Amino acid sequence: MVRAMKAIQRLVEVAALSAVALLAAACGPAARNCSDPAMLETDPANCGACGNQCNSDQGCMAGACYDLPCEPGKISKCYNGTKDTQNVGSCKDGSKTCAADKTWGPCVGEVLPGAELCGNNLDDNCSGAVDEDTDLDGDGFTTCQGDCCDSIQCSKPGLVNPGSFEIAGNSVDDDCDGMVDNPQASCDSTLQSNSNLPLDYVRAMDLCKVTTATDKSWGVISAQFTKADGTGLPAAVQRSIRAKFGSTVLPKAGSSLAILSTGAAAGKNDMNPAYAEFDSASSVSAASPFPADFLSANGGKLPNAPGCPEPFGARANDPIMLTLTVRVPSNAKSFSLASNFFSSEFPEYTCSPFNDFFVVLLDSTFNGMPANPADKNLAFYQDAGGGKYPVGVNLAYSANGTGTGLFNQCVNGETGCAEGDTGSITTCQSTTELAGTGFDTPRPGSCDSNSLMGGGTGWLVTRGNVVGGEVIKLRIAIWDTSDSSLDSLVLLDNFQWSVEGSDPGTVVE
């Protein structure tokens, strides 16, 4: 009997030692070591992270829980929310049924955390408190204001609130609208080509959401058309909304794109407004001063491409400017905008004072790095040597033909012949995007026998940095420089927010 008792005691001691050894190797709540990557890869009690325990019917592989084969017909509890909200407040388990192929079906009947609806005497967000109105993550939105992730329900609660934009593919309801990874609804499919509503042109650029000056959610607060100095009205023919430009240039996103022009915003077969030749000396709009802050930041004169003569005159000819006031999403750090610039100044007036201007001027409180331009204009290209080229026909200039590469919808050959300072261009890739626009018409008498009525950049992308939640002003303008002849035009589309910072400026898409 004594010998038997000693044997049992020895077995108990061995079991206890084994349990201690297993506990030391694990990294759960009583863990001694939470830094073993191999353990986190396969431990169901600490799958991928210490304390992340898989369900009893799950295993752990590569740091993620996965369902083990099950017995067909078996019913089990399930819950897809975080562990700290399970069966707390309004949240409750659901049930799942094992199918014939030994895999679990969907979780039916579960209730997951939602936005706290104050005044209903329920714990909607499953935090353990009823009708609490708190801002624990300091993002400026309380639970009663619809913050669905104020503290405990996602990994980065400060970036999830009704002021955020939805980030595709991250499996998070970023904007607390009750849907995960839902794409922004299209808003440009029924717009009239000659609309006189500035907000319609913003919608054509795929910036759909609107808000008010007092609402903390993100969106466009206001939009207006003016001349380059922010006063007066441009001619109606200088703007349009199109399903395409010419025969081949389609929107980068959605169903429409916006067009601003120093002449008629139309291709050969367009109406409302109708096409007019770009090679025209007629003025469509009275001149205005240049944007004062942009001019002042450049020492009282317009900037120009390196090596080219300066523009002359103190007025923007045939100008049109679209000004947007926008509240930035709370989780955004930058934005981008697609543009496509065309000019009938090409090729004769390349590297001349007649460098028609397209500008995207950003007013933002951002003061980090990389810095936004000091003159606020994001519509510029900077080459490897630091040379700064405003977007315009002088992007095509190069004495040796190498150019910037941003002017590529055109015909290679001589440039600048009308000014007597000839150069050449070799970066033209195609004339496909000129088809049906009016810029594809042959131009007789040019210095280059192959010249067309004009050329273009192809699609470019312009980026700028912003501060989440701030109100920015964005001024998008085009005007004739030094004269009112030979029109230029720009297409605008595919406005997007980003959670990453950007390198401000304009590059080939």
**HEC assignment per residue over 355-418:** CCEEEEEEECCCCCCCCCCCCCECCEEECCCCCEEECCHHHHCCCCCCCCCCCCECCCEEECHH
Q: Which of 154-168, 198-212, 332-346 has the lowest mean pLDDT?
A: 154-168
Over residues 503-508, the mean pLDDT reads 95
Write out the two tokens for 496: 């997007």
CA pair distance 218, 215, nearest whole angstrom: 8
CA pair distance 450, 503, nearest whole angstrom: 37
Residue 485: closest CA among 251, 282, 290, 297: 282
Q: Is the pLDDT of residue 238 over 90?
A: yes
Q: Which of 37-51, 61-75, 305-319, 377-391 has the lowest mean pLDDT?
A: 37-51
CA pair distance 266, 269, nearest whole angstrom: 8
SS3 452: strand
- Residue-level pLDDT at 153: 58
- Residue-level pLDDT at 284: 80
Each residue of 197-209: pLDDT tens digit? 999 999 999 999 9
The chain-wide mean pLDDT, for the chain, equals 87
Q: Is the pLDDT of residue 3 over 70?
A: no
- Residue-level pLDDT at 29: 44
Q: Is the pLDDT of residue 8 over 50?
A: no
- Residue-level pLDDT at 51: 78
> In this structure, are residues 322 and 220 in contact, taking their beta carbons and an 8 Å threshold?
no
Over residues 245-269, the mean pLDDT reads 97
- Residue-level pLDDT at 281: 58
Block residue for tokens 């008629």? 264
- Residue-level pLDDT at 183: 80
Percent of the chain at pLDDT above 90?
55
- Residue-level pLDDT at 376: 98
> In this structure, are residues 36 and 53 in contact, taking their beta carbons and an 8 Å threshold?
no
Q: Which of 18-27, 88-97, 261-270, 343-352 has the lowest mean pLDDT?
A: 18-27
Over residues 380-408, the mean pLDDT reads 82
Q: Which of 80-89, 269-278, 286-295, 462-471 has the lowest mean pLDDT?
A: 80-89
- Residue-level pLDDT at 395: 87
CA pair distance 278, 296, nearest whole angstrom: 31
Query: Mind spelling out the 3-state secondary structure of 43-75?
Result: CHHHCCCCCCCCCCCEEEECCEEEECCCCCCCE
CA pair distance 14, 383, nearest whole angstrom: 72
> In this structure, are residues 348 and 418 in contact, taking their beta carbons and an 8 Å threshold?
yes
Q: Which of 235-249, 259-273, 378-392 has the lowest mean pLDDT?
A: 378-392
CA pair distance 247, 397, nearest whole angstrom: 27
- Residue-level pLDDT at 282: 63
Q: Select the more confidently predicted residue: 181 or 466.
A: 466
- Residue-level pLDDT at 64: 87
Helix ranges (H only) for 132-212 are 198-204
CA pair distance 456, 340, nearest whole angstrom: 7
- Residue-level pLDDT at 41: 87
Over residues 1-29, the mean pLDDT reads 40
SS3 202: helix
CA pair distance 162, 173, nearest whole angstrom: 10
Over residues 151-177, the mean pLDDT reads 84
Block residue for tokens 């000839």? 422
SS3 83: helix
- Residue-level pLDDT at 182: 83
Q: Is the pLDDT of residue 366 over 90?
A: yes
CA pair distance 342, 435, nearest whole angstrom: 12
Backbone angles phi, psi at 49, to 5 degrees: -160, 150
Each residue of 259-268: pLDDT tens digit? 999 999 999 9
Confidence of residue 468 (pLDDT cuts 50, 70, 90): very high
Residue 345: closest CA among 318, 375, 377: 318
Helix ranges (H only) for 276-345 are 292-297
Q: Which amino acid is it at 411?
A: V
- Give pTM, 2 decimals: 0.77
- Residue-level pLDDT at 27: 46
How many angstroms separate the Cα of 48 from the Cα of each of 33, 155, 156, 225?
14, 14, 17, 54
CA pair distance 184, 218, nearest whole angstrom: 13
Q: Is the pLDDT of residue 492 over 70?
A: yes
How many angstroms separate the Cα of 276 from the Cα of each of 250, 284, 340, 367, 437?
21, 11, 19, 44, 10
Buried b (16+ CB within 10 A) or exposed e, 33-65: eeeeeebbeebbbbbeebebbbbebbebeeeeb
> Residue 507 burial (CB < 10 Å; 0-12/13-18/19+)?
middle
Each residue of 23-44: pLDDT tens digit? 333 444 444 456 678 888 888 8
Cα-trace Rg, the chain: 31
- Residue-level pLDDT at 24: 37
